[in-house]
Amino acid sequence: MSKYLINGGKPLNGEINIQGAKNSVLPILSASLLTQQKVVIRNVPRLRDVDNMLKILKNLGVDYQFEDNVVVITPSTLSSYEIPSGLARELRSSIFLLGSVLAREKRAKVAYPGGCDIGLRPIDLHIKALKEMGVKIVEGGGYVYCDAENMEPSSITLDYPSVGATENVMLLATAIDGVTTIANSAEEPEIEDLQNFINAMGGEVSGAGTPFLKIKGGKPLKSVDYTVMPDRIEAGTFIIGTVLTGGEVLLKGARADHLNALFSKIQKWDCKIEWSGGNILVSASGKRGELGIIETKPYPGFPTDLQAEICVLGAVANGSTMIVENLFETRYKHIPELQKMGAQVKVKDRIAVFNGVKELTGAEVNAFDLRGGAGLVLAGLIARGVTEVNNVHFIERGYEDFDIKLRKLGADIIKK
């Protein structure tokens, strides 16, 4: 298992390109099955999750090429409706292959999905919505068996604005003649990227970015050449890193309008965020500020995927910081690792309270999930001495060339 060795104390300066959004690419790869014609997807980051999704498509009989961040897919060769359990258990996003495979094959079989161990990750909202669309579902032996022969346009109301459940309904609804609506739909930017992708194929989806989506389905979808939007979580991770270390970093191809919740939280730190022409410039003195209370919420609230990263700011902030993780039950696995580095923090259920310390000390720590691992790297950037972050394969699920980009910005980090 690879690890990062980080010698802390170096400011971040320079410029990096922000990768395509992991959480857009994954549903868009699934949506590519909605047509029989060639699909070209650009700005695709080289990530373990992307590789696993492509392996699942290959298992379904779909050929692809992937080079220079461009994926070319031939969806006409789809020859199976059974999503392989090994890969499905590795990848949470396998669950929204359900919607597109059902759209094409009217049948699907998928194992309960896996992914990062940050909570129960149920799929009850997916199942409930698909059943309301007329899909017959039988669950057993760790698998979900679906039959969509009698699917019909429906008015769905999600009990919770689940990103994945919203995406699954969008995908299946494109193949149902008539209008399907989703109330209390997720409003994340990745939903808008998926809407734009489906519409670029000739679909008719509207309402992304609001809690009400409308999908007019039944038309055959066609070939598309699409560029994925930038990854707001990667951009947020580098912004937090720069605020922590001090310095000036230009994030090229980043969308500031996706990060308002983060900007509003770091405004009490001595930093300036400017944006123009699709780039974000963050400059910071490295002087500590206050954070106060941070509650993770569905978009446009503070993103749960930046919770582990903002914990590091909390660990060294002036005064005390309260973090409330409202989305996932066990998304604090990075906290005992931060305590090894000297963080003063108490956790009770979904609440973590930090008393800011002057500095963190390098230590051997373990990543247990993607974003927790990224947070530990940020802690290593400011810790006194050397930090060893183990299990970097978790981090490589979602960050392309993370150590290379940080080194380019002046961090003393190597991968072993």
So which residues are the catalytic ones? Answer: 116
**Using rule CB under 6 A, residue 371 touches ligand EPZ:** yes
* Token duo for residue 110: 């998928």
As a whole number of angstroms, the distance between CA 173 and CA 180 comes to 6
E strand or H helix at 243: helix 232-245
Task: Read off φ and ψ for residue 209, nearest 5 degrees.
Answer: 90, -5
Q: Candidates 3, 10, 92, 255: give the one binding ligand EPZ (CB under 6 A).
A: 92
Which CB, 19 or 23, lies closer to ligand EPZ? Answer: 23
Which CB, 301 or 385, lies closer to ligand EPZ?
A: 301
In this chain, which of 192, 231, 305, 325 binds ligand EPZ, going by CB under 6 A? 305
* Binding segment toward ligand EPZ, per CB under 6 A, in 7-15, 120-128, 238-246, 283-291: 120-128
> Which of these ranges, 117-125, 132-140, 169-177, 349-357, lies near ligand EPZ under the rule CB under 6 A?
117-125
265 binds ligand EPZ (CB under 6 A): no
Establish if 213 lies at the interface with ligand EPZ (CB under 6 A).
no
Q: What is the largest CA-CA distance in the chain?
A: 63
Structure tokens at 285: 């003195």
In whole angstroms, how close is the CB of 118 to ligand EPZ at the nearest point?
Answer: 6
User: What x-and-dash track marks residues 11-30 binding ligand EPZ by CB under 6 A?
Assistant: -----------xx--x----
Run of H or E residues at 409 = none
- Residue among 24 and 342 whose Cβ is closer to ligand EPZ: 24
State yes or no: residue 47 binds ligand EPZ (CB under 6 A): no
Q: Which two tokens stand for residue 27?
A: 């549903």
Q: Least distance from C-beta 240 to ligand EPZ, angstroms? A: 15
What would the two tokens of residue 104 be?
A: 């094409």
Cis amide prior to 300 (ω within 30 degrees):
yes
- As given in the structure block, the two tokens for residue 247 are 């310095």
By CB under 6 A, name the one of 12, 21, 39, 123 that touches ligand EPZ.
123
Work out which of 56, 102, 130, 163 binds ligand EPZ, going by CB under 6 A. 163
CB of 299 to ligand EPZ, least distance (A): 7
Q: Are 185 and 195 in contact (CB under 8 A)?
A: no
Encoded tokens for 64? 């692809």
Is residue 333 part of the contact set for ligand EPZ (CB under 6 A)? no
Cα separation, 158 vs 305, whole angstroms: 22
Residue type for 22, please? K
Q: Which of residues 169-208 bind ligand EPZ (CB under 6 A)?
A: 186
Residue 327 touching ligand EPZ (CB under 6 A): yes
* Cα separation, 377 vs 368, whole angstroms: 13
Distance CA(247)–CA(271), nearest Å, equals 9
Return the closest-CA partner of residue 214 out of 180, 248, 240, 191: 180
Q: How many residues bind ligand EPZ (CB under 6 A)?
A: 27
Interacting residue ranges for ligand EPZ, rule: CB under 6 A: 22-23, 26, 92-93, 116, 119-126, 160, 162-165, 186, 304-305, 327-328, 370-371, 398
